[in-house]
Structure 1
Amino acid sequence: MKKPLVGTLLALLLLGAGAAPAAAQTVQQARPAVRAVDFAGTVALSNCSGSVVRTPGSQPADPALVLSNGHCLESGFPAPGQVLVDKPSSRTFGLLNSAGTKVATLRASKIAYATMTDTDASLYQLTSTYAQIKSGYGIDALELSATRPVQGTAIKVVSGYWKRIYSCAVDGFAYRLKEGAWTWKDSVRYTSACKTIGGTSGSPVIDTATGKVVAVNNTGNEDGARCTDNNPCEVDESGNVTVRRGINYGQQTYGFVACIGAGSKLDLSRPGCALPKP
């Protein structure tokens, strides 16, 4: 997992915190960008990155949601097989504007959902509504895409923790991604240009053509080790293992759309909802 403050500050000293982001992908003329990708709507957690997100059906008066990783929880990593639903939380998040400047502190009312089983994701419900965030700070939530991303999609990984944007593309998908005790399904593999670091965990992965969130950044193979902590490996349908040193990954988020109903209520029994259940 891309944990912050574990070798990250040293890495920045060695590599340069102000290093230029990777070259942006060529914009496809057939799919013009709907909006520029910037920091608006992203958040900084105490130990990770995240973003204020909504579904296509979200209403202005609904409580806002923040997306991050399951391994970014204030209580520590969920155990394999553990799924948390509707757990009280008063965690705070630093809301960023388009320039990456903190404009507000948002507060959670609960952890609506979190797990590291099959995926690595957390959803916090806030005490603020989408309308309150928009009227108070002029910032819209990022929309979760309802469809699975495809290979070759140009993406940006936007870290609120480091205020850095990484540009690359979807290189492909890992049938299973295994890291230590945890296994994730159908993970997004980035091309090598997205050299994400500790603290970028939980960053939204944004399709640059639609401006929608297609995944949440979560890990990468740091040392070339095989299936260990901080060194995930890919496992195919036949059980063959592939190690890709220096390659980073995210977990798809389209599956959340079917599970979130009116009032930002997460309902794991909704038709089409396939998220892991407690």
Structure 2
Amino acid sequence: MPLDLKARFRSYTELWQSLGYAIWCAYLSVKDAFREGRYRDLLRVREHLDSAFYGWYKTLNHYALNYERNMTPLPRLVPACAGVVLEIGPGMGNQLYFFDKSKISRIVGVECSAKFLPELRGQIQEHKLEDVYEVVIAGIEDSDVLEKHGIKPGSVDTILSTGVLCSLPNPEALMREMYKLLKPGGKFIFWEHHQSKDRVTSVVQGFWDIAWSPFLGGCHLNRDIEGIVLQAGKWENTESIGNDNSERPYVMLPRVWGELVKPHELN
């Protein structure tokens, strides 16, 4: 382990700013309920936590947009989406900027939080995707809802997941279900943060995760995303998987990405 103690300490403590703001947003949600006389709502913890995540996301999203457009592989990954596309957790629609509309026949964005709808629909209009983009308010686990919108096993050409697998309930099982949705030859394109390969950083992630996950939309800092994706089924193009593990081993949100292909013929 390199003796970069100052850099490690700075990295290990900088999450407090994000977490602190999310906690503040939760406080504001409780305060509003009290001020407006909605006393029963004071006990609706889940609603306050959802409001905290939305407030945090909305306030900081312009930083995320700049980062994603200029410092990540997303400008290369997302344009590879083609055919019928299933976007998992589009949030406020940051990825819509990258889609190559000439390759796409249909996009179904499955978003579990209706709070993001105004911003998402605004992005759909801004990028002129109204004729191909359909928003479904549901979880990816709601297979009956997805089937009503034509999303069923063997029906999807591309699944896009950017910063979502960290927060899915039972991600191993849901990843296997997503694998089934892909047609033979279909692509799973992902860009996620994951558990650090550095032992010390991984331990620190675990400590932070106790408070981080409740206030940040169920996001977990220490999931083995690459392992979760690879266990879903047989994949081609596994050499496409990249990461930034070696650049700064003390980073709390290291990234992993790839463009995997479901084999045309499964043995």
Output the TM-score relative to the length of structure 1: 0.27
Output the TM-score relative to the length of structure 2: 0.28
Structure with more strand by fraction: 1
Structure with more helix by fraction: 2
